[in-house]
Structure 1
């Protein structure tokens, strides 16, 4: 996973210092528990087909990354889908979106872009 994370960070921040790159990689790894731990929230992940067709790292490292995705999906808490290239609507391609539901609070949609993240409870039914 490290080569892929590094490539993603460098794509978003090509002139970042090595210290900044390392900090962003560490921050991303710190969030990895969301898909790696048994008791983490369930997730639905949509990958754009371009990720498969135009890898940003060498083939062997990309194969490792895809094997990791298969491993995570096999735990049956993660649903992985691929959005085809020819799809006309390209929703939310600039970052991650999570819809989080809670038994004791209103739902929250969290979006994460290249440079920031934001919780949007006011856009959902039941939100403030």
Structure 2
């Protein structure tokens, strides 16, 4: 077992979080089990978080803040902790994504991370057995908090129709994911278009990409290969990416027709169908 006294609070956001949790818990005169009882978790979880062996959730952090009267210390720290769980090469992009005022993305194979449900994200991230899956899913969900801001970024997403048919996590997970895409219609700052199969050859054949635009900083274009991601503000790359995106938007179904296509695939491919015993299979 890791000795909390051996932890270096400056080693990582997770280590700092753990050391602060222990310090403030002891200042409050509480044992791990006593704090666990207050925030409805086991004493062992408190111990694992204090020794940086478990990544805290936002819900846990909010409950600890209330229990210890910290004024929101852990609710603020948990964002840094969760961001540190992202792949090192992706952290710079996540930081820029959070600062963007306009996000336009084309996705050829997967739902864009900011629009994924937790179960869909878990299925995607679980393909490679690397690190703590719960922590990586929590980190992806943390990214989505930018959509809950008072002034969220404007977001325009073009998805290949293949994304709707690629079954990730099973039929129920896919049905819920597509339902979530339909629910996003209530957010006027998020628009989703589907690039249909009948579009044939299109400007997105080279692969997925994202363009980030800012109020005061140069625009960026982001792409990924199977190793890592690449960001650039190169004017020629931005011009090419913007032109390709314009062509993709023009070839895609309208926002309204895209919603109809999503709903149709959701029902036809992932809806209720009778099983061998005649009962509905979700």
Place the TM-score, normalised by the shorter chain, in its bin: 0.7 to 0.9
**Out of 144, 147, 166, which is 1:32 matched to?**
144
Could you say which structure has the greater relative contact order, defined with CA pairs below 8 angstroms and 6 or more residues apart? 1
Name 1:7's counterpart in structure 2: 123
Per-residue CA deviations over 1:89-119 (Å, capped at 9, x if unaligned) read 3626754x33222232222223355653332
Larger radius of gyration: 2
Please tell me whether the aligned partners of residues 41 and 77 of structure 1 are also in contact (alpha carbons under 8 angstroms). yes
Conservation of the 8 A alpha-carbon contact between 1:94 and 1:113: no
* Structure 1: unaligned runs, 5 residues or longer: none
Show CA shifts across 1:58-108 (max 9, x none).
33332221222222232111110112234313626754x332222322222
In structure 2, the partner of 1:88 is: 201
- Consecutive aligned runs of 4 or more in structure 1 exceeding 6 Å deviation: none
More strand by share: 1
RMSD value, Cα = 2.6
Aligned residues: 120
TM-score, normalised to structure 1's length?
A: 0.72
**Contact (CA 8 Å) 1:94, 1:114: kept in 2 or not?**
no
Q: Which runs of 5+ in 2 are unaligned?
A: 1-116, 240-282
Partners of 1:78 and 1:103 lie apart in 2 by 18
The equivalences for 1:1-128 within 5 A come to 1-11=117-127, 13=128, 16-17=129-130, 19-86=131-198, 87-89=200-202, 91=204, 95=208, 97-112=209-224, 115-122=227-234, 123-124=237-238
Contact 1:47–1:83 (CA under 8 A) maintained in structure 2 = yes
Counterpart-to-counterpart distance in 1, 2:158 and 2:193: 5
The secondary structure found in structure 2 opposite 1:8 is helix
**Could you tell me how far 1:45 is from its partner in structure 2?**
0.9
Q: Which residue of structure 1 aligns with residue 245 of structure 2?
A: none
Residue 105 of structure 1 aligns to a residue whose secondary structure is: coil
SS for the counterpart of 1:24 is helix
Structure 2 residue matching 1:32: 3-state secondary structure: helix
Q: Which structure has the highest helix share of the two? A: 2
